[in-house]
Amino acid sequence: MAKVPYKTYLTEEEMPKQWYNIRADMKEQPDPMLNPGTLQPLTSPEDLYPVFCEELCKQEMDSQTRYIDIPEEILDYYKTFRPSPLIRAYHLEKALNTPAKIYFKFEGNNTSGSHKLNAAAAMAYYAKAQGLTALTTETGAGQWGTALSMACAYFGLDLTVYMVKVSYQQKPFRKAVMETYGAKIIPSPSDTTEVGRAILANNPNTGGSLGCAISEAIEVSMRDDSCRYALGSVLNQVLLHQSIIGLESKIAMEKIGEYPDVVIGCAGGGSNLGGLMAAFMQDKLTDKANARFIAVEPASCPSLTRGKYAYDFCDTGRITPLAKMYTLGSDFIPSPNHAGGLRYHGMSPILSKLYYDGYMEAVAVEQNKVFEAATLFAKQEQILPAPESAHAIYGAIQEALKCKKSGEAKTILFGLTGTGYFDMQAYTQFNEGTMTDYVPSDADLQRGFDGLPKVD
């Protein structure tokens, strides 16, 4: 067989025309969301209509439909940045001297610098189709906000982005990109919302968190009936839209005669790993294959490895429905010393359920190790990874080194979700040796758990 090419691209005709809904193949479903007032399960998409646009609410609640058609307009938009390449990391393999075959699906070759555009496209399109004129959202590291700015510019919607204050201060250029696409950016917590004012009153110097920013963005969206809120991770709908990553990966691997023994992704809210692994997890759920799945999360925000599987709010202001998920508690505010995204207190309910049921593994890693992996990768594969993505690189390197020890030529697939061009402050810290690691103590975590809502 001919040598596998460095990059395998699908043609535009080969691109998937449907998203894959993993819930249709799960033996047990994630527990339903609860109404934050009554603590009763949400039973109908209409319960969510005030927050999200209608089609997305239907997708959120739909655990039955296995494949959902991607609208033509979204397919057209996808072609501005998809298909994304599946890349064989020949140079990294050589540097590690491993018999493992390392592949990565590179989702960062677009101006948002990440996979987030896959879901942003759907949210902007369905909002426009419903006749809405505006969206609100939050952003942490800035990838999601940039992605939604781009999609809103394309589909013709106004966008207000609540940006976690510490990121707003550290990443003025992320803000500038979003503004170039026409979005309005507000540092969170802000005085533009009740929840923001309350958080500031309690803690005037807070650097903010995704949980706060979500609360603010939802509050603002509720004021205007032509506006809805959009969330870039955690939700079932997001995992649905991100499933294109794994669907494309699977087709590309089939083209070169490969199938992964292990699938690795970084995990914050779960949007990337959920999307990358879905098509392969389907094979595991239906007993067609048996890959391992590994979530790599930051030791500073270890929701899977040290969190509780419990009902919790998705935001700090406690205005969202409750989801059953691995969580550090919605009051948990990650250390601002942490460089990347992946700073969210919870985890996708789908991923949480799969992890709880033993279909997945998880590891946590400190950030200096992550940047060591990032730098090795950058020099070998010539792509400067986002700090988030570098968690997955670290995980892949660990598995490849195990293969070196055992002599096994396993096939490793990881998700390179994005590029680090807007994370150079963190790289500079690492280069200068001033980057610090932070691992919350058990007492730190207990404070978050103490705030968990009492359900049952």
Which residues are near a copy of itself by CB under 8 A? 5-7, 9, 11-12, 77, 79-81, 91, 109-111, 113, 150, 153-154, 172-173, 176-177, 179-182, 375, 378-384, 419, 421-422, 424-425, 427-428, 431
In the beta sheet, which residues pair with residue 295?
Answer: 265, 362
User: Residue 436 class from Cβ within 10 Å (0-12 exposed, 13-18 middle, 19+ buried)?
Assistant: exposed
The two counts, helices (H) then strands (E), for the chain are 17, 15
The Cα 346–Cα 334 span in angstroms is: 12
SS3 readout for 357-374: CCCCEEEEECHHHHHHHH
Kindly state the smallest distance separating residue 378's Cβ from a copy of itself, in Å: 6
- Please list, in sequence order, all residues whose beta carbon lies within 8 angstroms of the beta carbon of residue 120, skipping any fewer than 6 positions away: 112, 144, 147, 148, 150, 151, 230, 232
- Nearer to a copy of itself among residue 130 and residue 180 (C-beta): 180
The Cα 197–Cα 418 span in angstroms is: 33
The Cα 257–Cα 415 span in angstroms is: 19
The Cα 89–Cα 236 span in angstroms is: 31
Kindly state the smallest distance separating residue 422's Cβ from a copy of itself, in Å: 7
- Nearer to a copy of itself among residue 256 and residue 401 (C-beta): 256
Alpha helices in 286-338 (DSSP H): 303-306
Kindly state the smallest distance separating residue 127's Cβ from a copy of itself, in Å: 17
- Please list, in sequence order, all residues whose beta carbon lies within 8 angstroms of the beta carbon of residue 170, skipping any fewer than 6 positions away: 425
SS3 readout for 29-41: CCCCCECCCCCCE
The Cα 381–Cα 385 span in angstroms is: 10
- Nearer to a copy of itself among residue 150 and residue 281 (C-beta): 150
- Nearer to a copy of itself among residue 48 and residue 178 (C-beta): 178
Kindly state the smallest distance separating residue 123's Cβ from a copy of itself, in Å: 15
- Nearer to a copy of itself among residue 150 and residue 452 (C-beta): 150
- Nearer to a copy of itself among residue 227 and residue 384 (C-beta): 384
- Nearer to a copy of itself among residue 67 and residue 90 (C-beta): 90
- DSSP classification of residue 23: G
Kindly state the smallest distance separating residue 344's Cβ from a copy of itself, in Å: 25
- Nearer to a copy of itself among residue 173 and residue 259 (C-beta): 173
- Nearer to a copy of itself among residue 78 and residue 313 (C-beta): 78
Kindly state the smallest distance separating residue 334's Cβ from a copy of itself, in Å: 23
Kindly state the smallest distance separating residue 88's Cβ from a copy of itself, in Å: 10
Kindly state the smallest distance separating residue 214's Cβ from a copy of itself, in Å: 26
CA distances from 193 to 35, 158, 198, 251 (A): 22, 19, 9, 46
The Cα 51–Cα 29 span in angstroms is: 23
Kindly state the smallest distance separating residue 51's Cβ from a copy of itself, in Å: 27
Q: Which two tokens stand for residue 309?
A: 């599987």
